[in-house]
Amino acid sequence: MLSLRFAIPTANSLVPSKPKPRPGLVQTGANQTDFLSSRFYNIPKGYDYRLEAATTDVANRRVMEAEEEVEVVELPPGLSRDLMPKHVAVIMDGNGRWAKQRGLQTSAGHEAGVKSLREMVELCCQWGIQVLTVFAFSAENWIRPKVEVDFLLSLFERALKTEVESFSRGGIRISVIGDSSKLPESLQKLISEVEEMTKNNTRLQLIVAVSYSGKYDVVQACRSIAEKAKDGQIQLEDIDEGLIEQELETNCTEHPYPDLLIRTSGELRVSNFLLWQLAYTELFFIQELWPDFGKDEFVEALTSYQQRQRRFGARHS
């Protein structure tokens, strides 16, 4: 169920293919509707809803057309598209240690970590992975020095502002999970705007866990179910795994359960991340610190995943 980068007998014989250069993101026009809004033009009120619907339809059509035109990139040797995980989760660990090893401020490590995430998003798009969930800021991280916490939140806000247009053009949907009530109001507002702007994109869903913990997720789901039971919306016998799963924060995606969890920096734990959702997830631990995690390391993790047999409790003859 987990990997420490030991050699694993290859179960799938694959013909190596020659990788192609990575193409850039494809423009979809999904972010080109705001300038047509009645906020900027004196459009008669009676026609506003028609313009909004028309521009939304055009944007959605352009998104779908652009996603259909995306070049199919050959996979690195040894990987199979048929065996690619639908959902990959990542605990991005080691930014601080990376900076310390180089005599830099912790903030420099976090900046380098953003670059690693940007590359991983691009690779997921090219290789057909549908959902990428990253642990950006845990509920426990609030106890870190205030200067580091403030920097992390400002870095996240800045990254959202600078990347949202390219993500939108690339057909990437952004979702944020976690206890957003603790975040600055400006960041809460920005998250809502980004989620709304990218909600129709289907090439990749990037789920960012901020102020998140697995225990929090289960507790908030239980509270929601208790409220519904109190109001008579559900009965005791209605409560089952399916109902709980509907109330978890990962209900924002069609594939809520990661097939593969990657943790960098050599730590061998899940650190209160997606505790319910990781029940049958394959685990891969790697020594590289997150800023050093790139294409080669991602290929290694995916190769390990594709060589495993997933039985989900059954016995294969």
Burial code (b: 16+ CB inside 10 Å, e: under 16) for 23-42 equals eebbbbbbbbbeebeeeeee
Backbone angles phi, psi at 283, to 5 degrees: -110, 140
> Across the chain, which distance is largest between two alpha carbons, in Å?
70
Candidates 34, 82, 93, 240; catalytic one = 93
| Edge-to-edge order in the sheet of strand 87-91 | 2-3, 282-285, 260-263, 87-91, 131-138, 204-212, 172-177
Catalytic residue status for 296: no
Rounded-to-integer distance, Cα 171 and Cα 303, Å: 26
Integer Cα distance of 176 and 296 in angstroms: 28
φ/ψ of residue 119, rounded to 5? -65, -40
As a dihedral over the C-alpha atoms of residue 62, residue 67, residue 70, residue 74, rounded to 10 degrees, the angle is 180
Question: 216, 139 in Cβ contact below 8 A?
Answer: yes
User: Kind of pairing, strands 131-138 and 87-91?
Assistant: parallel
Task: Find where tokens 């901020």 sit.
Answer: 210
Q: What are the residue numbers of the active site?
A: 93
